[in-house]
Amino acid sequence: MIKQREKSIFWSRLSRNKLALIGGVIVIILFLIALFAPWLSPYDSGKIDVTRILEPPSREHPLGTDELGRDVLSRMIWGSRISLAVGFVAVGILSIIGVLLGSLAGYYGGWIDSVIMRFVDIMLCFPTYFLILAVIAFVSPSIWAIMIVIGVFGWMGVARLIRAEILSLKEREFILAARSQGARDLRIIFRHILPNALSPVLVSAILGVAAAILTESALSFLGIGVQPPTPSWGNMLTAGKDNIDIAWWLSLYPGLAILITVLGYNLLGEGIRDALDPRLRD
């Protein structure tokens, strides 16, 4: 009954947050575009047409063509798959690592907590972009490399969140009752503690998707992310930079796509955080 009431309060607060609803609509639309890309794309994203190089937006090509005569709208639709795939997979990796290490640190404490948290502090001392750039320099740039690298170097915030939640939960009555009944540590962590500690991780994951998409776009823009001819909003911006004086559409539309996507996930994440915050409940 209590959980059902909490869910009702959560959905009620979320539904009253107009910015969160706007963010949710943006996220759903982007997901549907990526899912139905083969049917929504008017042309083959890799089809080269040298007779239509750098054509401005028109009825035939609503967002124009690029330096090889490829349809920009088709490439942006397929690029949404790359961006969302990087965001979800990278966040999945960093969430798993952060939840596991944060759970161990928060539940066991002592030297285990000290070792893990000092490692977190060391990792946080290094700028994330420089770490990613250093690793990418030694491996072949690819979408999988980007996903893994972003995930491996982005888990520290999740670990801190989970550790803080577990520190506040592990001495609660229901945990003490589980221990008194002989429940093992892993069962207590995964069955009793984590389900009650994942709310901030959910918010962090949603915001993390936006950050991962932005990171992938930046790396692809620099030429060390997703490599052509695979369409990515980041490497499309690179083409736009090279032709900014004569083809403004090559920079404008991918940039807007990144802006709207990041904005949508941030609005949704902020709205969910407000809805889950008991201090803001009326």
Please indicate, yes or no, if residue 55 is contained in any of the structural domains: no
Residues found in the chain: 282
Encode pLDDT of 187-216 as tens digits: 777 777 777 777 788 888 888 898 888 888
- Could you give the CA distance from residue 235 to residue 254 in angstroms, rounded to a whole number? 9
pTM of the model: 0.85
pLDDT at 33 over 90: yes
Q: Which domain holds residue 198?
A: 71-266
Q: What are residue 71's DSSP bridge partners?
A: 65
Q: Which of 7, 67, 41 lies closest to 246 in space, CA to CA? A: 67
CATH number of 103's domain: 1.10.3720.10
Q: Would you place residue 1 in the very low, low, confident or very high pLDDT band (cuts 50, 70, 90)? A: very low
- Torsion of Cα atoms, 32 then 38 then 39 then 45, to 10°: 110
Please indicate, yes or no, if residue 140 is contained in any of the structural domains: yes
* % of the chain surpassing 90 pLDDT: 24
Please indicate, yes or no, if residue 279 is contained in any of the structural domains: no
pLDDT at 3: 58
Encode pLDDT of 129-147 as tens digits: 777 777 777 777 778 888 8
Please indicate, yes or no, if residue 276 is contained in any of the structural domains: no
In the chain, the number of structural domains is: 1
Q: Would you place residue 97 in the very low, low, confident or very high pLDDT band (cuts 50, 70, 90)? A: very high
Q: What are residue 65's DSSP bridge partners?
A: 71
Please indicate, yes or no, if residue 119 is contained in any of the structural domains: yes
Please provide the average confidence, as pLDDT, over all residues in the chain: 84
* % of the chain surpassing 70 pLDDT: 95
Please indicate, yes or no, if residue 30 is contained in any of the structural domains: no
Please indicate, yes or no, if residue 161 is contained in any of the structural domains: yes
Distance between the two ends of the chain, CA-based, in angstroms? 19
Please indicate, yes or no, if residue 48 is contained in any of the structural domains: no
- Could you give the CA distance from residue 40 to residue 158 in angstroms, rounded to a whole number? 36
Encode pLDDT of 224-269 as tens digits: 878 878 888 888 888 888 788 888 898 899 999 999 999 999 999 8
Q: How far is CA 123 from the centre of its chain?
A: 20
